[in-house]
Structure 1
């Protein structure tokens, strides 16, 4: 004789009535990210360029990672600022390695001056809704 009582550890499936439609499936993943408004794009672009003056590559990296899927402009400008700041990081490392000779202090000063000047130029261009390109950089992030 078989026992017809359901096992409490097994999940119960609701009985499907003949001709009834199955329930709609829920989306498998999270909802797509909401797009960024043009005013917010401008603000975050300014911060990506100007943030490198104070925080180095950290500011554009965080901005790019957060907004890269939400805005084409922030994806582009975040990568642009990040690549420039990573290039300056290499210059800082070379400057500190060669600080014991006179050229190291010149390299450090030049890297600092480039960060300030081109960071401000990038922020001003972003405030005018322009896509800024740095005059020199090594492309690490494509």
Structure 2
């Protein structure tokens, strides 16, 4: 039987992911604590707890992938567009950045930043939707989530 207490606990599990703004790794630790303490009380709580943790792990994985693509591309773009002095010629210390090459680096950095900002906004929106669904007693499955916990 689904009670108001179970609905509230499921909603708290989803909302506890927002503790990442206060506690480092709070988005993993707090839902994990609430879920493990209450997963045996209700199948509803168990499903919502797994969904919240799976979503946070998926977001972490996607952020790592974007970072692994962005950082090397940015560094290689900067290093390719910087003209380093030749050390065997003591009179040639010409250090400059090509405007054309730096534009590509800046554009790629802006696109990557926008991707990360969009992921952040979607994360907040999906957490609010999941909290609302849990409070209404409805099941919710986060989009683009990899099921680490089944």
Q: Work out whether residues 126 and 132 of structure 1, in 8 Å CA contact, stay in contact via their aligned partners in 2.
A: yes
Q: For residues 106-130 of structure 1, what are the alpha-carbon distances to aligned partners after superposition, in whole Å with 9 as ceiling and x for unaligned?
A: 3321221121000000011111111
1:90 pairs with one of 41, 61, 82: 61
Query: Could you tell me which residue of structure 2 aligns to residue 76 of structure 1?
Result: 47
Give the unaligned 5+ runs of structure 2: 21-26, 75-107
Q: TM-score, normalised by structure 1?
A: 0.65
Residues 62-73 of structure 1: pairs in structure 2 closer than 5 A: 62-73=33-44
Question: What secondary structure is seen at the aligned counterpart in 2 of 1:57?
Answer: helix
Query: Could you tell me which residue of structure 2 aligns to residue 104 of structure 1?
Result: 112
Q: Which has the higher contact order (CA 8 A, sep 6+)?
A: 2
Match status 1:38 vs 2:9: no
Question: What secondary structure is seen at the aligned counterpart in 2 of 1:130?
Answer: coil
Provide the rounded CA distance (Å) in 2 between the counterparts of 1:60 and 1:111. 20
Provide the rounded CA distance (Å) in 2 between the counterparts of 1:107 and 1:51. 24
Give the unaligned 5+ runs of structure 1: 1-35
Q: 1:53 Cα deviation (Å)?
A: 3.0
Question: What secondary structure is seen at the aligned counterpart in 1 of 2:41?
Answer: coil
Higher helix share: 2
Query: Could you tell me which residue of structure 1 aligns to residue 142 of structure 2?
Result: 134
Q: TM-score, normalised by structure 2?
A: 0.62
Provide the rounded CA distance (Å) in 1 between the counterparts of 2:33 and 2:116. 24
| RMSD after superposition | 2.1
